[in-house]
Structure 1
Amino acid sequence: MVRSHARSPTKSATAGWIVENLSTAILLFDSKLRLQLVNSAGENLLSASVKKMTGQRVDQIFGNDALPKALQHALDTGQVVTEWDLEIVSASHLTQCVDCTLTPCGNGQGDANVLVEMSNSDGLRRILRDEAALGQQNVLRTLVKEMAHEIKNPLGGIRGAAQLLECELASPAHKEYTRLIVDEVDRLRKLMDRMLVPNAAPRMTGVNIHEVLEHVCSLLEAGTDPALTIIRDYDPSLPDLLADRDYLIQAFLNIAQNAAQAVSYQGTVSFRTRAQRQCTIGLKRYRLVIRIDIIDDGPGVPAEIAEDIFYPMISGRSNGTGLGLSIARSLIHGHGGQIIYSSKPGETVFSVWLPVENGT
């Protein structure tokens, strides 16, 4: 009897499902270094779609020669190649460090392929930095509670003064600003009350992320120079997420104010939202995550504070408190999310990932 080695449709479908749902990026190149297969994690890592990349040569997908050289070496030697902290540049000019394993394999027809397993080593370093920052967060909580006591005292006076001013104004347009002051004072008072409660957890309700960002934009526009340009680039298909609206407003307002200050209130600040699928945050895997980018065209983050920018009391401005980004990170982490940034002269991007559902 001749035993068939053909893979059954059920096994093939199962294998495809497993590859598609791996958190590790999987790429398969043929002997001419053309991409034949990429999974969802690979699309996310390279910020490009499978439709766009399939059939392209490796040098069309990557903007530097690090991975092409490793692929050619694996093909020439027929041996497994492992690279740690390999710097790659995607076609969209995104630079990142990855750990990857390149395994030569046959395709059943006598041709050589190379299977690439790739993961972002920046993510592991980020997890280690977050663990090291836990002690800093305890210090921050104490500082925030002390600040909350001090902030609450003048808020009542500000609210009363705004109400009296509204009574004296005839213009409805001017009254809109005084109502904005009253609403923000009320929001801050509630926020301070909750921060004074030990270990206050976020109050999760259904939240539209664009409504939150529009509120932040309105505050930014009301309190800054008209020379500041605000650009919105929203994905309207994004679903609502479970979140604490007040906490998110405060987190994004802190990030946006930093961006506005970086351009001296005369440049451009952009808000961009996108869906990310099959993302890992910390040690959890999520099917769907909302990514929010806040981008400015300022001079970039000073090199001397680049590694510590999320720590309390770290600021690039002489009059800065160094608490805004630290508080923002704490609030985002309270939602199971993460915040990272990249910076170069002319473009600084703070990216926030917020999960839409519980991870695995």
Structure 2
Amino acid sequence: MKAPRQHPTPAVCQGPQYQAFDRLATLVAVIDSAGAIRFANNALEDAIGLSRRSLAGLALADWFSEPNLLQNAIQGANSHEYAVIRYDAKLQRLNNEALPVHVVLAKSEHGGELVVELLPLEQQTRQERELRLHEQAQANKELIRNLAHEIKNPLGGIRGAAQLLQLEPDARELAQYAQVIIHEADRLQALVDRLLAPHRRAQVIAEINIHEVCERVRALVLAEYPRGLALRRDYDTSLPEFRGDREQLIQALLNVVQNAAQALQPRIETGTAEIILRTRVQRQLTFGGQRHRLALELHVIDNGPGVPEAIKDRIFYPLVTGREGGSGLGLSLAQTFVQQHHGLIECDSVPGRTDFKLLIPLP
């Protein structure tokens, strides 16, 4: 790309109102009425590959493959034709391919300045997907909680009536049917209890070492599958401790690992099943609509058949399962527990490799 034009009096904005932009995950620039950069936040510095001091005074339009689009938008904003202007463009970067972005330009409250927000289109899609997932999870929780309570109330009456029926001397030939009713009522009761589990117990917050959580889960799963399953460790021991509910995270990870082990059953029988527990620390990571300085990435990777295509987009919904006899609650509860730690679980799956990634912010 050609060298951007340098305006004669570059100045870097340092006020607290601009420093707040550094906490945003999106790319933000503050420009003057002529289009010269006065401030670039950390995300924009990282994307372009220059510091804000180096960017100060340069024409922001020159960093786009079609600079006239931004120039026209600036003219429209200056003439008060539009309050907010949006369009798609490509941001040029040093030593990198152009980045497709959605541009949002608006007038600032500070005289003559314009704020330009650039949302990477891939990131925007991911944020929208995460928002939909979060909203769906909230709706599911409310629906499940209400539905579970509605189911729970008559269950006791059904079970009690069946027990009384068993005791009737004139209905002994019906005792086996009464026992079926009691058994099925108990099974439904257990299901309802699992549905209500995340809402019944308050979090117990303490310092957590994620590798202690991993080792606990590893021991439990290997006790269940002593042969045919290799459960390998790939830990980053530099990960700091963080505050959270240890039992919730053990249950969340256990649900994910057990889900992987169940999918690996054919490989377990041949002795070729493998699950990897991998921990990493990531910096400046964006998820849940926020940019996090540090985050834990905990991967559960298996060499199984992969998630069925028909349920890929719904695997974290309650009662959705790809396994015969499965309740469809394990991954839903795991997502709920991780979301209660301000994180989320993502899944990337192809035949032969499925990767469930647990993301949790670190202090």
Shorter-chain TM band: 0.5 to 0.7
Q: Which amino acid aligns with 1:219?
A: L
Alignment of 1:2-151 (within 5 A): 5-8=8-11, 11=13, 21-24=23-26, 75=65, 78-80=68-70, 82-83=87-88, 100-101=102-103, 117-118=119-120, 119-141=123-145, 143=148
Cα distance in 2 for partners of 1:15, 1:7 equals 19
Structure 2 residue aligned with 1:212? 213
Q: Which amino acid aligns with 1:260?
A: A
Offset of residue 223 of structure 1: 1.0
Q: Which amino acid aligns with 1:138?
A: E
3-state SS in 2 of match to 1:313: coil
Cα distance in 1 for partners of 2:327, 2:304 equals 19
3-state SS in 1 of match to 2:221: helix
Q: Which amino acid aligns with 1:261?
A: Q
Cα distance in 2 for partners of 1:131, 1:291 equals 23
Larger radius of gyration: 2
Offset of residue 138 of structure 1: 3.1
Q: How many residues in Structure 1 have an aligned counterpart in Structure 2?
A: 255
Structure 2 residue aligned with 1:203? 204
Q: Which amino acid aligns with 2:141?
A: Q
Identify the match of residue 339 of structure 2 among 330, 333, 337.
333
Cα distance in 2 for partners of 1:196, 1:74 equals 51
Q: Are 1:316 and 2:322 counterparts?
A: yes
3-state SS in 2 of match to 1:217: helix
Change (3 A) 1:76 1:243: closer
Verify the 8 A CA contact 1:276 1:291 in the aligned structure 2: yes
Identify the match of residue 273 of structure 2 among 267, 275, 289.
267
3-state SS in 2 of match to 1:122: helix
Structure 1 residue aligned with 2:251? 250
TM-score of the superposed pair, with normalisation by structure 2: 0.57
Q: Percentage identity across aligned positions?
A: 32
Q: C-alpha deviations, 1:3-58, integer Å up to 9, x for none?
A: x93435x648999977765402589xxxxxxxxxx987589xxxxxx79x969xxx
Change (3 A) 1:102 1:299: farther
Offset of residue 242 of structure 1: 0.6
Offset of residue 237 of structure 1: 1.3
Offset of residue 197 of structure 1: 9.2
Change (3 A) 1:117 1:198: closer
Change (3 A) 1:13 1:260: farther
Cα distance in 2 for partners of 1:99, 1:258 equals 37
Structure 1 residue aligned with 2:242? 241
Q: Which amino acid aligns with 2:330?
A: G
3-state SS in 1 of match to 2:65: helix
Verify the 8 A CA contact 1:40 1:277 in the aligned structure 2: no
Q: C-alpha deviations, 1:336-356, integer Å up to 9, x for none?
A: 211121111222111111122
Change (3 A) 1:98 1:78: closer
Q: C-alpha deviations, 1:302-347, integer Å up to 9, x for none?
A: 1111121111111101121111001111111112211121111222
Structure 2 residue aligned with 1:228? 229
Change (3 A) 1:21 1:220: same
Q: Which runs of 5+ in 2 are unaligned?
A: 1-6, 30-39, 51-62, 71-85, 90-95, 106-116, 157-192
Q: Which amino acid aligns with 1:220?
A: V
